[in-house]
Amino acid sequence: MPQTIGLLLFGGAEELDFVGPWEVFTVSRMVLESQEQSAHTCVLVSQLGKTVQCAKGMRVETDHAFADAPALDVMLVPGGQGTRKEVTNQDLLKWVRDTAETCRWVTSVCTGSLILTSAGPAKGKRVTTHWNFVKTLRERNEASEVIDNARYVRDGNVVTAAGVSAGIDMALWLIGQMYSPEHARTVQRYMEYDPAPPYAGLV
C-alpha cells in the first residue's frame, strides 16, 4: 500500500529544515516511479492548510489543514524560530500526538525535537537537536537523554536530526531503511550530494 510522508509546516519553520528532506523524499518517489515500484506520496500539512511564512521569509503553500490531512506513515517536524511559539500551541501538539500514533516513523529536524518531546512521541526518548538548543532541551527534562555531536539519533521509531542541514542526512538514512541503502545512494547521486563545504573547518 502506498505510504504517505507528511511534513508539518508552521509560521517561522526554518526553510532548509523541511526542504532538504522534501527533496530527498520527492526524489525518492521519482526514482521509485521510474523503476515502476510503488512509491510514497509527500504532503505539506499546516494547522489551517494555508500559506505559511517561514523563518527566513519564504512563503510556502501547504496541501492540507489538520482537519483534512490524510493518515501519515512518516511525519517530519522541522525547527526554526516558530517552534518557540508552537511548543505551547495545544492544537498543534494534539495533532502531532494523535497523528504520530499510527506513524511508522516520527521524525524531526533541528528544534523540531522540542515539539516532539512536548507533544509526546519523543517524551522519555534519546534525542538530538540544533547544537545551540541542546542545553534548552536538557533543561526541559522531557527526553531521557539529549545527545550532542550526532547528525541524527534514532530511538525506536523516533528519529531526531541535529540543526538545519542535518535533516538531509537523516532523510537519506530514513529512505534507506524504508526501501534499501542502494535506493538511498541512488537518490543521493541524483541530488549530487557529495558535499564539500568550502573554507574547511568550522568556527
**Using an 8 Å Cβ cutoff, are 99 and 75 in contact?**
yes
CB of 105 to a copy of itself, least distance (A): 15
**114 belongs to the binding site for a copy of itself (CB under 8 A):** no
* Segment interacting with a copy of itself (CB under 8 A) among 15-23, 64-72, 92-100, 115-123: 15-23
**60 belongs to the binding site for a copy of itself (CB under 8 A):** yes
d(Cα 151, Cα 115) in Å, to the nearest integer?
18
Order across the sheet with 74-77: list the strands: 64-65, 41-46, 4-8, 74-77, 105-109, 158-161, 152-155
**68 belongs to the binding site for a copy of itself (CB under 8 A):** no
CB of 104 to a copy of itself, least distance (A): 18
Interface mask toward a copy of itself for 118-157; x: CB under 8 A: ------------xx-------------------x------
Say which residues have a Cβ less than 8 Å from residue 3's Cβ, sequence separation at least 6: 40, 41, 73, 74, 104, 178
Map the footprint of a copy of itself across residues 74-93, applying CB under 8 A.
none
* Known active-site residue 110: yes
**58 belongs to the binding site for a copy of itself (CB under 8 A):** yes
* Residue number, 100 or 116, with CB nearest to a copy of itself: 116
- Amino acid at position 116, single letter: L
**Using an 8 Å Cβ cutoff, are 29 and 40 in contact?**
yes
Among 62, 65, 42, smallest CA distance to 54 is for: 62
Map the footprint of a copy of itself across residues 153-172, applying CB under 8 A.
162-166, 168-169, 172
Select from 5, 8, 27, 75 the one that contacts a copy of itself (CB under 8 A).
Answer: 27
d(Cα 160, Cα 114) in Å, to the nearest integer?
10
- Just list the catalytic residues: 110
